[in-house]
C-alpha cells in the first residue's frame, strides 16, 4: 500500500550535524495505513535538548554570523530554503503521507501552503521596525524590536510540515535561534527540512531538531532555563503543562495553539446543498484531525432534515483507503491511541441517544481507518457535542433563533474558530461580533492565510500565529531614551 521512499535522515539535528541521541535510544515511526515500521529514529531527551540549547546560544551570541547578518540576507536565506523545498516538493509530500497517512494531494497542498508562509515571513526580515516616541525635548525616545533569543517549539502530528513552517517562519524572520521537537508520530519531514536548511546555508545552531517524546524531550524544552520562549501546538491538557513548566522555570514567554470545538452555524436562507458541502469539508478535512475543525454543525430547524440528507450523501460518497491512491479522499487516523479515542466518543454518541446517519465503525483491522460518520439529533450535553473528537465525525445540532445559537455556540471552554452560512449580512455581522473565537468564517470555512492572525480565545490558546501578529510572539521591545544636553 505504501509508496516506497528512501528515508535519508533518522538522527537528531544539532549544530548543523545529524547525531545520535546521547542515550543511544531509538523509537519507531510507523505508517498508519498499515502499522509497519518506516524507520528507527534517534530519541532525544533532556541531555540532547541541553546540547541543542548550547548550539542555539552560540548561534545567537553577540557578534555571531547570524546576529551580524543583514536582515535582507536573512530573508534571502529563507527564500533559498523555500526554493529547496519547492525543488523537493514531491519527496517531502511522499514522506509526509507515509508518516502521517494524509492523502498525497493534501500533503502537496500542505507543502505548498508552507512554502507560501515561509516566503511571506522572509519578506518581513528587513521590515521589523520600532518607533520614535514623543517624550518632550529632554529625551529622544525610540524603540527597537529585538529577537527574544533561543526559542523552543513543540508541534503536533496533524500537519507536521506546515506546523514546522508556522513556527520557523516568524522565529527566523525575527532573528531568533530555535530548537524544534516534532511529534513522535511524525518526525520525518522535520528532519529532512533541517537538512535543507543546512544546504540553504543557515549558520550552525540556528535551527535544531530533536525528535522524541513529550514528557521527556518536550518537557525538557518547556522547563529549560535558557530557552526564553516556547511555542506549542497540541492538546489543551499539555498546553496547561507547558505553561506551568514555564512558570516554574524562568518565566519564558509562552504561545499556545490548542484544541477546539468550533461551531459552524447554518441559517435557513441558504442553498442547503452548498451549505452541506462547506460543512462537510469543515469537519472532514485532514480526516477530522484539525484544531479548527467545524465540529459542531448547528443547522436551523426549518432546513434540518434536508441538510442531514445532503450531509449523508457527501459522507457516503467519501472514499477511504490508501492515501497514495488519487481516488481516495480519506486515509487512516494517526495512531492506535487516536483511533481508540475516536471510537470511544462514537460509542458514547450511540449510547447517549444520538442517531448514527452514516458510518460509526472502524474499517478493517489493519491501519487506523474510520468510517466517515454523521450523528443527527445531537444535544449540547452529549460528549460528542462537548469534547474534541479529532476524527471524521460530524455532529449535527438543531437551533431556532440567533440568540439561542450564539449562547449555545459560546457555551464551551474553547474558542478557536467559528463559521456562519447565511445570505443576510446583518445576521453574519451580529454573529461575528458576538461569537467568542479567534477566527470567524462567513460563507466559507478554513479561510486561513499566512497574512492574517490565527489563534484562540479562552482555552484554545494564548497568542497568535501568522501575519504580523505572529512576529510579535518572537520579539522583545526595547526602549532607548537619549538625553539631549542643551549647549546653552
Ligand atoms: P499532545 O498535546 O500530547 O502532543 C502534541 C505535542 O506535544 C507532541 O509533540 C508531543 O510530543 C508534545 N507533548 C506531549 N506531552 C508533553 C509534555 N508534557 N511536555 C511537552 N511536550 C509534550 O497531543 P496528542 O496526545 O498527540 O493528541 C491528543 C489530543 O490533542 C488529540 O486527540 C486532539 O484532541 C488534540 N490535538 C490538538 C492539536 C491541535 O492542532 N491543536 C494537534 C494534536 C492533538
Ligand atoms: Mg499526548
User: Which residue puts its alpha carbon closest to atom 20 of ligand 1?
Assistant: 218
pLDDT at 486: 87
Q: Give the cell for residue 132.
A: 520614535
Catalytic entry in 43, 96, 184, 257: 257
Q: Are strands 417-421 and 263-266 parallel, antiparallel or unpaired?
A: parallel
Percent above pLDDT 90 for the chain:
98
Indicate which atom in ligand 1 lies nearest the CA of residue 238.
Answer: 2
CATH of the domain at 330: 3.40.309.10
Mean pLDDT of the region 77-85? 99
Q: How many domains does the chain have?
A: 2
Arithmetic mean of pLDDT, 249-257: 98
Q: What is the CA radius of gyration of the chain?
A: 24
Residues 233 and 293 in one domain: no
Convert 126-151 to b/e letters by CB count within 10 Å (16 or more is b): eebeeeeeeeeeeeeeeeebbbbbbb
- Are 208 and 293 part of one and the same domain? no
At residue 5, does pLDDT exceed 90? no
Asked if residue 290 is part of any domain, the answer here is yes
| Domain contains 345 | yes
Say whether both 209 and 72 belong to one domain.
yes
Q: Which ligand lies nearest the alpha carbon of 100?
A: 1
**99, 156, 161: which to mutate for ligand 1, most atoms within 8 A of CB?**
156
Are 29 and 163 in the same domain? yes
Look up 476 and say whether it is catalytic. Answer: no
| Predicted pLDDT at 2 | 54
Q: In the predicted model, is pLDDT for residue 356 greater than 60? A: yes
Instruction: Report if residue 483 sits inside a domain.
Output: no
252 shares its domain with 271: no
Domain harbouring 67, CATH code = 3.40.605.10
Q: Print the SS3 string covering 186-224.
A: CCHHHHHHHHHHHHHCCCCCCEEECCCCHHHHHHHHHHC
Residues with CB under 6 A from ligand 1: 154-158, 181, 183-184, 213-215, 218-219, 222, 233-235, 238, 241-242, 257-259, 291, 338, 341, 388, 390
Q: In what order do the strands lie in the sheet with 475-483?
A: 132-133, 139-147, 475-483
**Are 254 and 270 found together in one domain?**
no
Closest residue by Cα to atom 38, ligand 1, is 234
3-class DSSP string for the chain: CCCCCCCCCCCEEECCEEECCCCCCEEEEECCCCCCEEEEEECCCHHHHHHHHHHHHHHHCCCCHHHHCCHHHHHHHHHHHHHHHHHCHHHHHHHHHHHHCCCHHHHHHHHHHHHHHHHHHHCCHHHCCCCEECCCCCEEEEEEEEECCEEEEECCCCCHHHHHHHHHHHHHHHCCEEEEECCCCCCHHHHHHHHHHHHHCCCCCCEEECCCCHHHHHHHHHHCCCCCEEEEECCHHHHHHHHHHHHHCCCCEEEEECCCCCEEEECCCCCHHHHHHHHHHHHHHHHHCCCCCCCEEEEEHHHHHHHHHHHHHHHHHCCECCCCCCCCCECCCCCHHHHHHHHHHHHHHHHCCCEEEECCCEECCCCCEECCEEEEEECCCCHHHHCCCCCCEEEEEEECCHHHHHHHHHCCCCCCEEEEECCCHHHHHHHHHHCCCCEEEECCCCCCCCCCCECCCHHHEECCECHHHHHHCCEEEEEEEEECCCCC
Answer yes or no: do 244 and 167 share one domain.
Answer: yes
Q: Which atom of ligand 1 is nearest to the CA of 155?
A: 9
Pocket test for ligand 1, best of 161, 211, 238 (most atoms within 8 A of CB): 238
pLDDT band at 3 (very low <50, low <70, confident <90, very high): low
Instruction: Tell me, yes or no, whether 58 and 204 share the same domain.
Output: yes
Does 129 score more than 80 pLDDT? yes
Q: Which atom of ligand 1 is nearest to the CA of 259?
A: 41
Atom of ligand 1 nearest to the CA of 182: 9
Instruction: Specify whether 204 is located in the same domain as 77.
Output: yes
User: Average pLDDT over the chain, rounded to whole?
Assistant: 98
Rounded CA-CA distance 260/292 in Å is: 6
Is residue 165 assigned to a domain?
yes
Report pLDDT digits (tens) over 304-350: 999 999 999 999 999 999 999 999 999 999 999 999 999 999 999 99
Are residues 250 and 303 both part of a single domain? Answer: no
* pLDDT for 4 beyond 80: no
pLDDT band of 487, cuts 50, 70, 90? confident
Contact 254, 229 (CB under 8 A): yes
Residue 486 lies in a domain: no
Same domain, 216 and 311: no
Mutate to test the pocket of ligand 1, among 187, 224, 235 (most ligand atoms within 8 A of CB): 235
Per-residue pLDDT tens over the stretch 34-71: 999 999 999 999 999 999 999 999 999 999 999 999 99
Residue 1 domain flag: no
State pLDDT tens for residues 143-179: 999 999 999 999 999 999 999 999 999 999 999 999 9
pLDDT tens column, 427-483:
999 999 999 999 999 999 999 999 999 999 999 999 999 999 999 999 999 999 999
What distance in angstroms lies between residue 296's CA and the mean position of ligand 2's atoms? 23
Q: Is the pLDDT of residue 186 over 60?
A: yes
Cα-to-centroid distance, 236 and ligand 2 (Å): 10
- Most informative mutation of 162, 180, 210, 214 for ligand 1 (most atoms within 8 A of CB): 214
Q: Residue 225's domain spans which residues?
A: 12-258+460-478
Q: Which residue, 140, 144, 152, 145, is CA-closest to 57?
A: 152
Is position 484 within any domain? no
Closest CA to 381 of 391, 395, 392: 395
Q: How far is the CA of 186 from the centre of ligand 1 (A)?
A: 12
Q: Grid coordinates standing for 350?
A: 450511540
The Cβ-side half-sphere exposure at 434, using a 13 Å CA radius, reads: 19
Clarify whether residues 254 and 316 are in a common domain.
no
Q: The cell 494517526 sits on which residue?
A: 334
| Percent of the chain scoring above 70 in pLDDT | 99
Q: Is 393 inside any structural domain? A: yes
Supply the residue whose CA is at minimum distance from atom 35 of ligand 1: 235
Quick: pLDDT tens for 375-433.
Answer: 999 999 999 999 999 999 999 999 999 999 999 999 999 999 999 999 999 999 999 99
Nearest CA owner, ligand 1 atom 12 = 214
Nearest CA-CA partner of 329 in 366, 371, 293: 371
What atom in ligand 1 is closest to the CA of residue 334? 26
Closest residue by Cα to atom 32, ligand 1, is 390
Amino acid at each position: 500500500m505504501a509508496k516506497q521512499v528512501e528515508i535519508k535522515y533518522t538522527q537528531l539535528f544539532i549544530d548543523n550535524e545529524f547525531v545520535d541521541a546521547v542515550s543511544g535510544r531509538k523509537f519507531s515511526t510507523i505508517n498508519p495505513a498499515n502499522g509497519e515500521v518506516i524507520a528507527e529514529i534517534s530519541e532525544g531527551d533532556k541531555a540532547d535538548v541541553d546540547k541543542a540549547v548550547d548550539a542555539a546560544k552560540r548561534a545567537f551570541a553577540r557578534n555571531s554570523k547570524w546576529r551580524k547578518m543583514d536582515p535582507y540576507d536573512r530573508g534571502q536565506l529563507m527564500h533559498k530554503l523555500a526554493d529547496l523545498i519547492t525543488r523537493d516538493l514531491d519527496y517531502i509530500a511522499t514522506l509526509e503521507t507515509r508518516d502521517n497517512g494524509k492523502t498525497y494531494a493534501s500533503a502537496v497542498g500542505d507543502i505548498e501552503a508552507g512554502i507560501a508562509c515561509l516566503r511571506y515571513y522572509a519578506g518581513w526580515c528587513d521590515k521589523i521596525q520600532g518607533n520614535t516616541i514623543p517624550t518632550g525635548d529632554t529625551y529622544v525616545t525610540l524603540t527597537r524590536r529585538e529577537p527574544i533569543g533561543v526559542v523552543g517549539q513543540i508541534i503536533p502530528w496533524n500537519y507536521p510540515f506546515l506546523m514546522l513552517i508556522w513556527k520557523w517562519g516568524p522565529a527566523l524572520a525575527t532573528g531568533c535561534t530555535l530548537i524544534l521537537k516534532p511529534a513522535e508520530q511524525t518526525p520525518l519531514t522535520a528532519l529532512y527540512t533541517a537538512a535543507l536548511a543546512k544546504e540553504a546555508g543557515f549558520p550552525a545552531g540556528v535551527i535544531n531538531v530533536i525528535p522524541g517524546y513529550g514528557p521527556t524531550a518536550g518537557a525538557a524544552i518547556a522547563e529549560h532555563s535558557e530557552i526564553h520562549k516556547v511555542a506549542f501546538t497540541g492538546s489543551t491538557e499539555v498546553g496547561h503543562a507547558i505553561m506551568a513548566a514555564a512558570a516554574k522555570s524562568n518565566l519564558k514567554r509562552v504561545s499556545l495553539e490548542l484544541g477546539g470545538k468550533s461551531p459552524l452555524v447554518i441559517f435557513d436562507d441558504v442553498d442547503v446543498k452548498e451549505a452541506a458541502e462547506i460543512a462537510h469539508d469543515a469537519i472532514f478535512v485532514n480526516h477530522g484531525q484539525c484544531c479548527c475543525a467545524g465540529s459542531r454543525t448547528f443547522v436551523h430547524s426549518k432546513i434540518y432534515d434536508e441538510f442531514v440528507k445532503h450531509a449523508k450523501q457527501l459522507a457516503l460518497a467519501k472514499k477511504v483507503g490508501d492515501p497514495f491512491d488519487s481516488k481516495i479522499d480519506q486515509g487512516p487516523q494517526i495512531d492506535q491511541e487516536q483511533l481508540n479515542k475516536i471510537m470511544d466518543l462514537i460509542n458514547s454518541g450511540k449510547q447517549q441517544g444520538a442517531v448514527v446517519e452514516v458510518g460509526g465503525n472502524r474499517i478493517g483491522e489493519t491501519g487506523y481507518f474510520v468510517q466517515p460518520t454523521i450523528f443527527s439529533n445531537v444535544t449540547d450535553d452529549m460528549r460528542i457535542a462537548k469534547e474534541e473528537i479529532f476524527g471524521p465525525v460530524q455532529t449535527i445540532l438543531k437551533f431556532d433563533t440567533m440568540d439561542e445559537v450564539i449562547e449555545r455556540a459560546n457555551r464551551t471552554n474553547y474558542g478557536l474558530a467559528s463559521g456562519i452560512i447565511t445570505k443576510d449580512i446583518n445576521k453574519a455581522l451580529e454573529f461575528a461580533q458576538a461569537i467568542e473565537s479567534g477566527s470567524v468564517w462567513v460563507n466559507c470555512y478554513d479561510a486561513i492565510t499566512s497574512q492574517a492572525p490565527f489563534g484562540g480565545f479562552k482555552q484554545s490558546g494564548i497568542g497568535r500565529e501568522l501575519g504580523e501578529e505572529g512576529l510579535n510572539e518572537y520579539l522583545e521591545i526595547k526602549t532607548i531614551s537619549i538625553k539631549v544636553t542643551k549647549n546653552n
